[in-house]
Amino acid sequence: MKTALVSDFDNTLYFHNSEERFRAQDIFEILFFQKRGGLFGICTGRSPDSVLDTTGNFLRPDFIISVSGALIVDGKGNVLDSRCLSPEITEKICREYESRAAMVIHAGGHVYTLSEPEYHLQIRIGSYGELPRDAVYGISMRFESSEAAAAAVLEMKEKYGAHIAPFLNVRNVDIVAAGCSKGTGAARARELFGIEKLGGIGDSYNDLPLIENADVGFTFADAPPELKEAADEIVMSVSQAIEKLG
């Protein structure tokens, strides 16, 4: 039986506010799991190059479900599947919220910004017309507070719900094409890799579709109530999820 664990990245596998950004036991269990024939995937709102740049050479996922399910790549970054936003909707939403949130746009395998880049992989552009028009995968916005982000999600669903799916992650909002989510990305990865048993683990609201679509869903004791209700198992770490998945 081909088994896979799909893990959220930030604050599930990678802890950027901690001295130990990756837990040694998690890495050990992932590598051992892969050695036994299991597949390990990362499911994130980030771009693939951001994930691969952060993991370096000591951890190589078999696949990455990136941009909240809109873009699936293999462990080397080769595109396997994608869903795109229209350039017109992208520009309209960005212009509406550009004074209220910091934002980046995932397009054509890169991350673009119209402001000063905050990360070395971000590419600054002068106008929305410079984006690859046929390969805009998503928009990531960071608001001043979780309340502002939650309010923006409600606004977006009401105004643009026919075209987009916005996902809340604390004070961040990730926007992809309607019908797209971490759950649909996991389902597509299942098809692409012939996965028979799929485990999914995450810590925040945007991980709910992943947990719901997994055969075995995992989350943490301090996760939101909706995630704990949907999960099959409450664990302390990715390594413990791997042990329980078998």
Instruction: Report the 3 state secondary structure along 64-102.
Output: EEEHHHCEEEECCCCEEEECCECHHHHHHHHHHHCCCCE
Closest by Cα among 101, 137, 138, 104 to 121? 104
Number of domains in the chain: 2
Domain boundary (148, 177, 206) is at 177
Same domain? For 46 and 60 the reply is: yes
Same domain? For 26 and 100 the reply is: no
User: Looking at this protein, which amino acid is placed at residue 65?
Assistant: I
In this prediction, residue 144 carries a pLDDT of 97
Same domain? For 167 and 194 the reply is: no
> Taking the model in full, what pTM does it have?
0.94
Same domain? For 204 and 160 the reply is: no
Same domain? For 106 and 47 the reply is: no
Question: Could you give the count of Cα atoms lying within 13 Å of 153 in the half-sphere of its Cβ?
Answer: 23
In this prediction, residue 242 carries a pLDDT of 98
What the block records as the tokens of 155 is 């606004």
159-to-95, 99, 162, 164 alpha-carbon distances in Å: 14, 18, 8, 10
Please identify every stretch of the chain with a pLDDT value under 50, giving residue numbers as ranges: none
Question: CA 61, CA 34: separation in Å to the nearest integer?
Answer: 9
Same domain? For 139 and 219 the reply is: no
Closest by Cα among 24, 2, 18, 60 to 237? 24
In this prediction, residue 133 carries a pLDDT of 82
Phi–psi pair at 224, nearest 5 degrees: -55, 150
In this prediction, residue 57 carries a pLDDT of 87
Domain boundary (152, 177, 202) is at 177
Same domain? For 167 and 191 the reply is: no
In this prediction, residue 17 carries a pLDDT of 86
124-to-103, 112, 128, 185 alpha-carbon distances in Å: 12, 6, 11, 28
Domain that holds residue 91: 87-177
